[in-house]
A and B are shown apart, each in its own frame.
Chain A
Amino acid sequence: MTLLAVDWLLIIEKLVLIAIIVFASLGIALYTTFAERKVAAVLQDRPGPNRAGPFGLLQPFADGLKLIMKEEIIPTSSNKALFVLGPGLAMTAALMTCSVIPWSSHIEIFDRKIDLQIADINIGILYIFGVVSMGVYGMMIGGWASNNKFSLMAALRGASQAISYELAMGLSLIAVLMLSGSLSLKTIVDGQMAAGGYWNIVYQPLGFIIFFVCALAECNRTPFDLPEAENELNFGYHQEYSSMKLGFYLFSEYINMIMSSAVMASLYFGGFDVPFLDESTLAPNIAALIGVAALLTKIAIFIFVFMWIRWTVPRFRYDQLMNLGWKTMIPLALFNMLVTGALILLKAGV
């Protein structure tokens, strides 16, 4: 069997890891929808969902059940194949991001070292950009295949917004890459964890702000949720969708939020690093568990900030959004890149 001359244990290990991470992401996304409603309730001084289960904790399952039970409608004038493909693409692209994020260091089971990262590829961060740019297709195909003017307008808005903000995001990222000298997320995190090293946020405060704003725009979160501007576009690009296909679109937004929080934590906030703790003194399995907990805490904080912003700030107008992206974010990112490069050269004494 030369066809299968591969390390089977490695494949099993990776499959298990993929399954765990995908299902964990889905589970966290489920409860992120709950958290969103609770945070909104707190900010608006009302109790929020509190009927299903203790403290309303079963609410996300009730919501999910409701979505699955609803009637599945495919508009007669739509392009059926693409109409079904759209939400699938959005979900796939959202979930694919998780494969290059280092969730923690490694664990040891039966003398086998297992990295808690699905793939440590040397183009890690570019891979994320590639997948994010694929996510646009889910929105565009869905909006176009619905054969509805409002859906198409919303899809075009969403896609042009995503492309515009991807530019500034990439430029702000270059400064981080100059500091770390690697595209691999694992190496970037290790560089921040090393003794005497600081988190990248210390060196890149402006870069982080740019990246954060762009992440908000990429996830279609308020104040950048123009594709879903109800007062202008009825319901946005998923107007014609019902049942779980709508659920996929809504859900992929939450998964995108989790993944972009994980990327931001890894790039600027030390990934799975716990501040003031030397992980190398602990047993590897315990250190790995603490690392996962630390990363999840950072992700939770980011998600809370996302929600806080959503329920505090009103939506931009479309021209304001484009102005901010092209005339403020990109020049700022270029400036940040220039300053970082100059400082690195100065420090190196060239």
Chain B
Amino acid sequence: MSITQFLFYFLTVLALFSAVMVVVSKNPVHSVLWLIAVFFAISGHYILLNAQFLAIVNLIVYAGAIMVLFLFVIMLMNLNASTEPQKNNWLKLAGVIAGGCFLMVLVSLVKQANELNNIAVTMGTGEIGLIKNLGKALFNDFVVPFEISSVLFLSAMVGAVVIGKKA
């Protein structure tokens, strides 16, 4: 077992365990914290795939910014186990069946996709995730969609500031 494989299994177990804990936790704040752990594990996977830029942006944007907003909302609403509405057992059963069906669809989709057939992931060799190559792809091949989306983001930010100014 090479060190890469060892890390891969470690991160995978961490990601799956944390993901299960997100669902199982009674306390919503704990769920959010476990979700952050999932993001960390996935960022580790990105690094194993040599996509360092994706890894760190995943951490900054999702774990750093979006989850903080989640935490804000949950902390201010003061959700906890006692205030959670009690669902009856039939509803829970229906939820499990629906979720299971969705999982089956997803798994069969991944299994049948042509692009994914007979392709083993090679660790630590890809070049596209490096910031240099990613930047070149974004600014040469995909420059128009990239610029349009960045203008969209900028206008959203300006909009937020304008709304804040009115209040």
Contact = CB atoms under 8 A, between A and B. Distances in A.
Interface of A: 2-6, 79, 82, 121-123, 126-127, 129-130, 133-134, 136-137, 140-141, 144, 152, 155-156, 159-160, 163, 183, 322, 326-327, 330
A123 B161 contact: no
Interface string B26-37: 010100010010
Interface residues of B, number: 29
Contact of A183 (B59, B65, B75, B131): B131
A130 B56 contact: yes
B64 A136 contact: yes
A126 B46 CA distance: 15
Interface in B91-149: 130-132
Given A82-B29, A140-B71, A156-B76, A130 B64 contact: yes
B53 A126 contact: yes
Interface string B151-165: 000000100010011
A133 B65 contact: yes
A245 B72 CA distance: 23
22 contacts: A2-B2, A3-B1, A3-B3, A3-B6, A5-B3, A122-B52, A123-B56, A123-B131, A126-B53, A130-B59, A130-B63, A130-B64, A134-B63, A137-B68, A140-B68, A140-B75, A141-B33, A144-B71, A156-B72, A156-B76, A326-B164, A327-B165
Contact of B63 (A6, A133, A322): A133
A131 to B, nearest CB: 9
Contacts of A122: 52, 130-132
Contacts of A3: 1-3, 6
Contacts of B60: 126, 129-130, 133
Contact of A134 (B2, B64, B71): B64
A159 B164 CA distance: 18
A326 B161 contact: yes
Contacts of B2: 2-3, 5
B1 to A, nearest CB: 5
Interface of B: 1-3, 6, 27, 29, 33, 36, 52-53, 56-57, 59-60, 63-65, 68, 71-72, 75-76, 130-132, 157, 161, 164-165
Nearest to B55: A123
Between A122, A130, A160, the greatest number of chain B beta carbons within 10 A of the residue's beta carbon is seen for: A130
Contacts of A121: 52
B56 A127 contact: yes
Contact of B161 (A136, A144, A163, A327): A327
Given A130-B56, A136-B64, 5 more contacts: A126-B57, A144-B29, A155-B75, A156-B75, A159-B71
Contact of A137 (B36, B130, B131): B36
A326 B162 CA distance: 10
Given A133-B64, A152-B75, A159-B68, A126 B3 contact: no
A133 B61 CA distance: 9
A133 B36 CA distance: 12
Nearest to B58: A130
Q: What are the nearest 10 A-B pairs in CB distance?
A: A133-B64, A130-B59, A126-B56, A123-B52, A130-B60, A123-B56, A144-B75, A130-B56, A3-B1, A326-B161
Nearest to A126: B56
A159 B72 contact: yes
Contacts of B157: 330
Contacts of A137: 36, 68, 71
Contacts of A79: 27, 29
Nearest to B160: A326
A73 to B, nearest CB: 22
A43 to B, nearest CB: 35
